[in-house]
């Protein structure tokens, strides 16, 4: 039964073998070597090709060729040695399927027997050969045949077992050689072979584990001194921190006790002074004196309470004040930018065109142009010179604009850095202490718009200084100067949206 999905190369080769004469079959069978070599080893495609070769009886053709006389084969020993390689490679890894009994009991033993016969013939030819080159060639062919035999026996161990059993049957029982043959046959059995293979794998795994564990242990021993040093360092640092914490707590308790003692002493002194004053003051003025002291005490308490309340309100309103100031600064900057844009639009407005000229004015202008040309005759310049002058002027103009753009960019970068530095210094100076800091205070230092806020704050301070300056310093300034405070609602909303705040009331 022929398999479905057969390789077209195998089909073509089988058809060619069937149609060709007998003397051309060995050379045609050599094409199998190219097909096998072009297929990846161990792949399913190679197994399928071997099954196709077996199903189309190409292996049997190889056996028939090898059983013939080598002198009658085209190519001689070269063709025979290559056919042995093809036969061994096709038999190893082949899954015969339904014809397994015929393959293992007939084909494989006949293939091994043919290889042995060919080796015997090569030995005879080698002994009878006279020239050295011929002996070298025969020796090479013998190596190829023996390698093919070993490849076949390595893939099918049962061939060795069958041969050893036949040899054991020819020996006398009870001899030492027969006992060794029985041991060898037992070792070559599939079960014993698998056990030996498992033992080798187990030993190899144990050896790898031993080397790996030794490597890990040596690595751990190398790191042990550094680990001990690290442990000691961490223990000492923790002990130092604990001692510092205890000493700090003790100092705080001592300071608290000293403050309490000083407060008690101050209260005692104040009471002694009051008693002394009461002794000095006239009895009729005692009530007035007590009332003055009560009023002073009430004023002091009110002053401290109002100061505490205002400081608390100021801390709560600080973010809104900051947002309001930033919004005002952004309004001013936006209006200034829009004014510059309008000014640029006016400068670069399209040319309105010439007004219509009458004939008399056109004649008058022509006379003026002719008189000017007559009084100021121009030098004759060639086209090449004018083009060179034009290209030079273009290069200089381009160089000037590029340099000016780089200078403006570097100046803006310097101004932004200076403003950021001044803002950082001012924020650090006005920052609350760690005890008084709230959850929203660190956001002032993590804002992404710090350079913008810094520049805006600097411009705001400059405007305030200008407003607070005396009148005689403002003489000569225009009405539309940059110091005007903008009050446009659109600018206010733009500034508040930019800083992520809310519109100030």
Shared domain check, 264 and 201: yes
Length of the chain: 505
Residue 390 lies in a domain: no
Shared domain check, 197 and 138: no
Shared domain check, 134 and 271: no
> Number of folded domains in the chain?
3
Shared domain check, 231 and 142: no
Residue 381 lies in a domain: no
Shared domain check, 64 and 122: yes
Task: Compute the distance between CA of residue 242 and CA of residue 224 in angstroms, rounded to an integer.
Answer: 27
Among 127, 155, 183, where does a domain finish?
A: 155
The CB density around residue 150, as the number of other CB atoms within 10 Å, is 12
Helix count (H) and strand count (E) of the chain?
A: 17, 0
Task: Compute the distance between CA of residue 138 and CA of residue 146 in angstroms, rounded to an integer.
Answer: 12
Task: Compute the distance between CA of residue 172 and CA of residue 409 in angstroms, rounded to an integer.
Answer: 108
> Distance of alpha carbon 331 from its chain centroid, rounded?
43
Least confidently predicted of 245-259, 297-311, 433-447: 433-447
Residue 487 has pLDDT above 50, yes or no: no
Least confidently predicted of 33-42, 229-238, 242-251: 33-42
Pair of tokens at residue 360: 């008399």
For residue 97, give the DSSP letter: G
Shared domain check, 267 and 146: no
**Proportion of the chain above pLDDT 70, given as a percent:** 75
> What is the pLDDT at residue 160?
60
Place of tokens 């604009």: 401
Residue 243 has pLDDT above 90, yes or no: yes
Among 126, 155, 184, where does a domain finish?
A: 155
Question: For the segment 382-424, what is each residue's pLDDT rounded down to a tens digit?
Answer: 788 888 888 898 899 888 888 888 888 889 888 878 877 877 7
Question: For the segment 114-123, what is each residue's pLDDT rounded down to a tens digit?
Answer: 777 777 777 7
The CB density around residue 59, as the number of other CB atoms within 10 Å, is 23
The boundaries of the domain holding residue 269 are 193-280
Question: How confident is the model over 80-85, as a mean pLDDT?
Answer: 77
Which of 33-47, 141-155, 190-204, 285-299 reaches the highest mean pLDDT?
285-299
Task: Compute the distance between CA of residue 390 and CA of residue 381 in angstroms, rounded to an integer.
Answer: 12
Among 155, 183, 209, where does a domain finish?
A: 155
Residue 447 lies in a domain: no
Residue 151 has pLDDT above 50, yes or no: yes
Q: Is 246 left (phi over 0), alpha (psi -120 to 50) or beta?
A: alpha
Shared domain check, 303 and 260: no
Shared domain check, 149 and 24: yes
Question: How confident is the model over 230-252, as a mean pLDDT?
Answer: 92
Shared domain check, 271 and 139: no
> Which has more confidence, 2 or 26?
26
């Amino acid at each position: 039964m022929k398999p479905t999905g057969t390789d077209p190369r195998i089909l073509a080769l089988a058809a060619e073998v069937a149609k060709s004469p007998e003397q051309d079959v060995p050379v045609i069978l050599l094409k199998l070597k190219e097909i096998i070599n072009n297929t990846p080893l161990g792949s399913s495609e190679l197994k399928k090709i071997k099954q196709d070769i077996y199903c189309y009886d190409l292996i049997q053709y190889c056996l028939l060729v090898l059983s013939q006389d080598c002198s009658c084969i085209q190519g001689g020993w070269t063709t025979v040695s290559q056919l042995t390689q093809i036969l061994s490679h096709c038999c190893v890894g082949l899954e015969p399927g339904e014809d397994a009994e015929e393959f293992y009991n007939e084909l494989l033993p006949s293939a091994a027997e043919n290889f042995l016969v060919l080796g015997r013939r090569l030995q005879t030819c080698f002994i009878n050969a006279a020239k050295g080159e011929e002996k070298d060639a025969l020796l090479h062919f013998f190596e190829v045949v023996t390698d093919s035999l070993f490849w076949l026996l390595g893939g099918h161990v049962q061939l060795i077992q069958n041969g050893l059993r036949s040899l054991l049957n020819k020996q006398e029982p009870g001899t030492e050689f027969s006992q060794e043959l029985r041991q060898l046959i037992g070792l070559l059995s599939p079960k014993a072979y698998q056990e030996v293979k498992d033992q080798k794998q187990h030993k190899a795994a144990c050896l790898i584990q031993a080397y790996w564990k030794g490597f890990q242990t040596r690595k751990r021993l190398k790191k042990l001194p550094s680990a001990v040093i690290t442990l000691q360092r961490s223990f000492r640092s923790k002990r130092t921190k604990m001692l510092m914490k205890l000493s700090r707590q003790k100092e705080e308790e001592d300071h608290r006790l000293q403050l309490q003692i000083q407060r008690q002493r101050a209260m005692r002194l104040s009471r002694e002074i009051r008693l002394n004053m009461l002794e000095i003051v006239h009895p009729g003025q005692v009530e007035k004196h007590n009332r003055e002291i009560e009023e002073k005490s009430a004023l002091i308490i009110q002053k401290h309470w109002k100061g505490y309340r205002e400081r608390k309100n100021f801390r709560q309103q600080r973010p809104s004040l900051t947002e309001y100031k930033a919004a005002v600064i952004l309004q001013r900057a936006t209006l200034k930018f829009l004014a510059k844009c309008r000014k640029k639009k006016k400068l670069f407005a399209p040319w309105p065109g010439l007004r219509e000229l009458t004939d008399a004015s056109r004649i008058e202008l022509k006379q003026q142009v002719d008189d000017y040309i007559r009084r100021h005759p121009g030098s004759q310049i060639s086209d090449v010179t004018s083009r060179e002058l034009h290209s030079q002027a273009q290069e200089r103009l381009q160089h000037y604009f590029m340099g000016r753009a780089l200078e403006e960019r570097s100046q803006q970068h310097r101004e932004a850095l200076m403003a950021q530095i001044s803002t950082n210094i001012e924020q650090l100076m006005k920052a609350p202490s760690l005890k008084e800091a709230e959850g929203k205070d660190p956001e002032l230092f993590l804002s992404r718009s710090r350079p913008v806020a810094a520049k805006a704050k600097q411009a705001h301070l400059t405007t305030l200084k200008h407003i607070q300056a005396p009148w005689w310093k403002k003489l000569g300034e225009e009405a539309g100067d940059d110091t005007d405070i903008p009050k446009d609602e659109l600018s206010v909303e733009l500034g508040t949206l930019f800083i992520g705040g809310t519109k100030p009331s």
